[in-house]
Amino acid sequence: MNAREKILARISEAKPDKAALSHHLENHPRGPQPMDFDDLKKRFAERALKLSSDLVEADQLNLAPGLIANYLQQRTLPMKGVCWPALNHLPWLDSGLDIEARPAWNEDMVGITGTFCAIAETGTLLLLGGEKTPASVSLLPETHVAIVDPKRIVATMEDAWDLLRRECREPPRTVNFISGPSRTADIEQTVTLGAHGPYRVLLVLAP
């Protein structure tokens, strides 16, 4: 017997009711859910700010680069960075931004991504990694800018899973829930923003 067989042999379980177990898988029932949120966008914004993210709103997607440029300028951050190839079509240059569409490298200071959806309950973003949406863009740079479509704000993580099941055949290699800038409280349990990931996260709500 190899290790696998030995471990499985030790797991002395009553004969599984296979039908019940696959029923659970197929129906994937939810646990207790939070109370309904009246206004998903409002709730999302409140929670995101609480997580130390910054937030601006654009009337249309094409105006997002201008708002991002403003934000970077105000904070004297570099006007240069990378974006998801999926966002290459936005008018970056017109707003004075020098943005390359590719995965992020260590030197990149600003990373601009979209979001698969956002979660109102906790103010969280859900990003899927993929060919046009590399995960490094939201991770390596010190500033992460995420464009969020207000129509794609869902109430809970469970709603996000349903959306994922509907729109993707299977989860991509990386599914990342992001809730504000990276942080650590390892030294004296004091929360410090900017650990190994971004120091700041700007959310741009844009349809």
Partner 1 sequence: MQNASLDFKRQVTVKLADEKLQQALSRLQSRFVEGRSAVISEIHDLQETRDAATRIRDRVLNNLGHWLLHFEEQATKRGAVVHWAETAEDANRIVVEIAKQHDVKTAAKSKSMVSEECGLNDALENAGVKVVETDLGEYILQQAHEAPSHIVAPVVHKNKEEISDLFANVHGLPRKTGIAELCREAREVLRPAFLNADMGISGANFLIAETGSALIVTNEGNGRLVTTLPRVHVAITGIEKVVPTLEDASTLLRLLPRSATGQSITNYVSMLTGKKKETDPEGPDHFHIVLLDNGRSSLLGTPMQEMLRCIRCGACMNHCPVYQNIGGHAYGWVYPGPMGSILTPLLDGIEKAPDLPNASTLCGACAVVCPVKIPLPDLLRKLREKQLALGLRPRQETALLGIWSWLALHPRAYALATRIAVRAMKVVGGKEGLLHRLPGASGWTDGRDFPAPEGKTFREMYRERS
Tell me whether residue 2 or residue 76 sits nearer to partner 1 (CB atom). Answer: 2
Taking contact as CB under 8 A, which single stretch among the options 72-80, 90-98, 110-118, 181-189 is the one that binds partner 1? 181-189
Taking the alpha carbons at both ends of the chain, their separation in whole angstroms is 58
Q: Binder to partner 1 among 37, 86, 150, 174 (CB under 8 A)?
A: 174
Q: Which residues fall within 8 angstroms of residue 56, CB to CB, at 6 or more apart?
A: 67, 71, 202, 203, 204, 205
**Distance of closest approach, residue 94 Cβ to partner 1, in angstroms:** 26
Whether 103 and 82 have beta carbons less than 8 Å apart is answered as: yes
CB closer to partner 1, 41 vs 183: 183
Neighbour tally for 148: CB within 10 Å: 24
Residue (34 or 96) nearer to partner 1, CB: 34
Task: Please tell me the distance from the alpha carbon of residue 66 to that of residue 70, in angstroms, as a whole number.
Answer: 6
With respect to partner 1, which residue has the nearer C-beta, 12 or 60? 12
For residues 147 and 128, what is the distance between their CA atoms, to the nearest angstrom?
Answer: 14
Question: Which residues of this protein are in contact with partner 1, per CB under 8 A?
Answer: 2-4, 6-8, 10-14, 16, 18, 21, 24-25, 28-32, 34-35, 47, 51, 102-103, 106, 122, 124, 129-131, 134-136, 139, 156-158, 161, 170-190, 192, 194-198
